[in-house]
A and B are shown apart, each in its own frame.
Chain A
Amino acid sequence: MKYYSYYPGCSAEATASPLGVSVAPVAKKLDMELAELEDWNCCGSTPYWSVDKLEAAAMATRNLALAEKRGFDLVTPCSNCFVILHETNNYLKKLPYFKEKVDKALAAGKMKYNGGVRVRHLAEVLYTDITPDGISAKVTKPLKGLKVGAYYGCQLVRPDGFDDPESPHSLDEIITSLGADAVNWEMKARCCGSSLVMPEQEVALGLVNKLLKNATEHGAECLITPCPLCQINLDAYQSVVNSQFKTHYNIPVLFVTQLIGVAMGIPANELALSGNIVSPMRVLAPYL
C-alpha cells in the first residue's frame, strides 16, 4: 500500500465530477491510499493568482499546512491546482520576503507551514510510483484495438512538470499499458484555451477545434486527459465547436482514471461514464 494526502480541487467536485468519482475505485485497485485533506480550500487558482498573488498564495499555503500535519505527499488530479500549489511551494522556498508575509497571514488563522510538503500531480504519481508495468499487472480487460489519443494539455507538463514539456510520453505509456494503441499526434501538449472559454469563447473554441481536428485526423477514437479544464473544453463544448465551425466531431474525452478503470474491469457506474457529455459508450462497449 502506498500512502498519500489527496487534494481533489473544486472542479473535481462539480464540473469535472467524473474525475472525482473515478479516482477512488482506481486508486483502490492500485493499492494507493488517497486520504482526502480535511477541510481543504480552493487552491488559489490562476484567476486569483492574477488578482492578488499574496492572498492567492496564502490560500494555497493553508492547504499545504493542512497536508504537512499529515506528513505524506500531497496529490491532486487537477493540473491547475497542481501548478498553483507547486509554484507556491517554490516561491516560499526561493523568496524569503514573500514567505515572511505568507507566514504572517497564516498565523492570523493560527496556522503554520514549514515547507515540508511535496506537491504532485496524480498522473505523475501513476507514472512514477505505480508505473505503467504496475498498472498493466492489474488490467483484466485489455483495450485491444482501441485507438486513444493522450491529451496532456499544458499545466501537467509546464512550467515545471515531470515529462518533456514539448513532446511528453508518460500518458502514451499508460495507454499502452492498458493494451490500447497510443495515437501519435502533434498537438497533444498544446493549449485548449482553458478558462478563456468563458470570457472569450470564440478564441478558445478556435483552439479546441484545432486540437480535435489534429486528433481525429490521426485516427483517435477517444482522448484521455488528466485536466478538468481541458476535459470540459473538449467534451462539453464539442457541440458548440461543431455548430461554429461546421464540423462533425463525435469523439469522447475521458479522464485518465476512467480509461484505466475500464481496463481494470471497474463497472461503468463507478467510473461515472454517464457523466461524459459526448458518450463514450459506443467506443467502450466492446470492453465493458
Chain B
Amino acid sequence: MAETMVKDLADVSFINEVCAIPGGEAIRSCIQCGVCTGSCPTANQWDYPPRRVIAMVRAGLRDELLSSNSMWFCVSCYSCTVRCPRDIKPADIMHALEIIAIRSGKSTKRSKTPTMYRCFVDSARGNGRVYELGMMIKLFLKTNPFAALKLAPVGLGLFFHKRLPLKPSRIKGMGELKAILNKARELGGAK
C-alpha cells in the first residue's frame, strides 16, 4: 500500500514536470493514436518511439525514459505536431524531456546528441553567437576524434568554399547578454 502511494506520487510529479515546461502542457489529452510515431522520420532509431514516450510520461516511467536514447533522435521536423489530432505538440514534449534528462544528469551516453547540444550552448553563451567550427571540433574531441577524420573532407570543402571562418564572431553587448542569461539561470529554468 505504502509502495503504491509512493509510486503514485512519482507518477504525478513526472507528468507535472513535463507540463511545467512550455509546450508540454497538453500531454494529458493524448489518445494514443500513434500518428506521431507514423509521421516520425527517425522513429526506427528510438528505444521507445514517440507514442510510447507519451505513454511512459503518463505512466511515470521517469528513469527508463530519461536514460533512453528516444528524444535525442527528435530532429524537430514537427510532422507529428501538425498531424496530432489532439494538438499535443510531441516535438515540444521531446524538448522538455531533453531538458529534464540533462537537468537530472540522466541523459544517455549512447547518443552523442546531448554532448553536441552542450557544445552548442557553450558556444552561444561564450560569444553571443554560435561559432560552428569551434563547436564541431569540441564535439569530436569530446566524443570520437576518429569520426572527425571521416568528416574532414566535408570540413575542408566548406573551408575552401569560404564557409568555415577561422575566427568566431562576438557581439558587443556581451556584458548585457551575460547578465540576462545569468538572471534566467537564477530564476531556475522555465518552471
A residues in contact (CB < 8 Å) with B: 10-11, 13-18, 39-42, 44-55, 57-59, 62, 83, 91, 95, 98, 101-102, 104-111, 154-155, 158-159, 165-166, 190-191, 193-196, 198-201, 203-204, 207, 232, 236-237, 239-240, 272, 274-277
Contacts and interface: CB of A to CB of B under 8 A. Distances in A.
Given A52-B185, A53-B190, A275-B162, A108 B173 contact: no
A17 B162 contact: yes
B19 to A, nearest CB: 12
Contact of B129 (A10, A47, A207, A275): A10
Contacts of B77: 154-155, 158, 190-191, 194
A47 B117 contact: yes
Interface string B164-182: 1100010111001101111
B143 to A, nearest CB: 7
A44 B89 CA distance: 19
Given A101-B190, A198-B139, 15 more contacts: A10-B132, A11-B132, A40-B171, A50-B95, A51-B121, A52-B184, A52-B185, A54-B187, A58-B184, A108-B182, A155-B76, A159-B89, A193-B75, A198-B136, A200-B111
A84 to B, nearest CB: 10
Nearest to B82: A165
Contact of A196 (B73, B98, B183): B73
B121 A111 contact: no
Nearest to A66: B173
A256 B165 CA distance: 23
Contacts of B22: 53, 57, 91, 95, 98
Contact of A109 (B41, B151, B176): B176
Contacts of B163: 14-18, 236, 275
Nearest to B175: A109
B190 A98 contact: yes
Nearest to A41: B128
Interface string B114-132: 0111101100100011111
A39 B187 contact: no
Nearest to B20: A97
Contact of A101 (B115, B158, B184): B184
B1 interface: no
The 5 closest A-B pairs by CB, nearest first: A199-B112, A108-B183, A158-B78, A109-B176, A191-B77
B78 A109 contact: no
Contacts of B113: 196, 199-200
Contact of A200 (B95, B112, B132, B172): B112
Nearest to B98: A50
B85 interface: no
B99 interface: yes
B169 to A, nearest CB: 6
A251 to B, nearest CB: 16
Contacts of B16: none
B78 A41 contact: no
A91 B24 CA distance: 12
A201 B129 contact: no
Contact of B158 (A13, A15, A50, A154): A15
Contact of B180 (A109, A194, A204, A239): A109
Nearest to B97: A50
B99 to A, nearest CB: 6
